Amino acid sequence: MTYKAICLTFSVAVLGLNITAAQAQNDYPPLEICGNKAQGGIMRGHIDNAYKIYQNEKEISVSEAGDFLLAFGRDEAYQQSVRISYNIPEEDYPSDSYTFSITPTKWDIQKINGVAQSKVTPGESHRDEILRENQSVRKALSENNTTKSYWKQGFIEPLEKYRISGEFGGQRIINTIPKSPHRGLDMAAPLGTPIKAAADGVVKLSGGNFFYSGNMVIIDHGQGLHTMYAHMKDTSVKVGDEVKQGQIIGTVGQTGRATGAHLHWGASLNDTRFNPSSLLKLNDNSLCYKI
Ligand SMILES: [Zn+2]
């Protein structure tokens, strides 16, 4: 039983009311969350004896060890809430609520010309191909059967040397047509450059030759966290493989909708796309906040 649970029991006994420690007094420790506290960021947290955790009243995954992740999408609300209910059935699973704000991020607008018109406004003939891509990606991202928290080791960049050719969250205007915001980070590198797994995990998709993403790898890092690697020339892993951080998973290509050789690096937490660069700050202890 943690201090928190003891404190709660004490409060209830003294006051004789069914209220939480948070409401009764503010002598419980604040919740610590670490990482990029901004739109497009991801943070980690840890709490003992949590039964369920909710971000903005939507239930999120909490591991048996008490670890959880919070991701903030491109257009995420600045005001955030985390509610933790504790595993005390006899007390009717009491909960504590925390609120905090995230930093707004200014997004980039990028103009790209010279893309084949057929790739900008796909014709009816590509409908089935696009459907196949969407379904494959959705399936790979929804298979959260990796309960192991691989992500705890932290992340590395998938390329050793690169040039950023497209920021996360930027809106592209391709051949003067505004497209939906960019959901990954474009890292330009020569064709055939080896791509490394950003962290340990299990491969959920490999290859595909998709209309937009070309050849792709999706790695499951546990608790709904995935990294995605698109436009690959080739892939050297298969679905079900357990990969190690730094392991070569394929090479940089120009497959799918791409104007040059680059890696589109993406990241998703339970279908919330966030900036994969934020993963590099997940274990940075100088970015811890008490809320
Ligand atoms: Zn991209």
Whole-angstrom CA distances from 174 to 59, 121, 134, 256, 283 are 37, 10, 21, 15, 36
CA of 69 to the centre of ligand 1 (A): 24
User: Domain map of the chain by residue range?
Assistant: 3-105+284-290, 109-281
CA of 179 to the centre of ligand 1 (A): 12
CA of 29 to the centre of ligand 1 (A): 41
CA of 121 to the centre of ligand 1 (A): 17
d(CA 251, CA 152): 26
d(CA 121, CA 174): 10
Q: pTM value? A: 0.85
Q: Cα-flanking dihedrals φ and ψ of residue 140, to 5°?
A: -65, -40
* pLDDT tier, 138 (very low <50, low <70, confident <90, very high otherwise): very high
Interval 68-106: pLDDT, tens: 999 999 999 999 999 999 988 898 889 999 999 999 999
CA of 257 to the centre of ligand 1 (A): 9
CA of 98 to the centre of ligand 1 (A): 35
d(CA 169, CA 126): 26
- Which of the listed CATH numbers 3.40.50.970, 2.70.70.10, 2.40.50.140, 3.30.365.10 matches domain 109-281? 2.70.70.10
CA of 5 to the centre of ligand 1 (A): 46
Interval 50-64: pLDDT, tens: 899 999 999 999 999
**In CATH terms, is domain 3-105+284-290 a member of 3.30.70?**
no
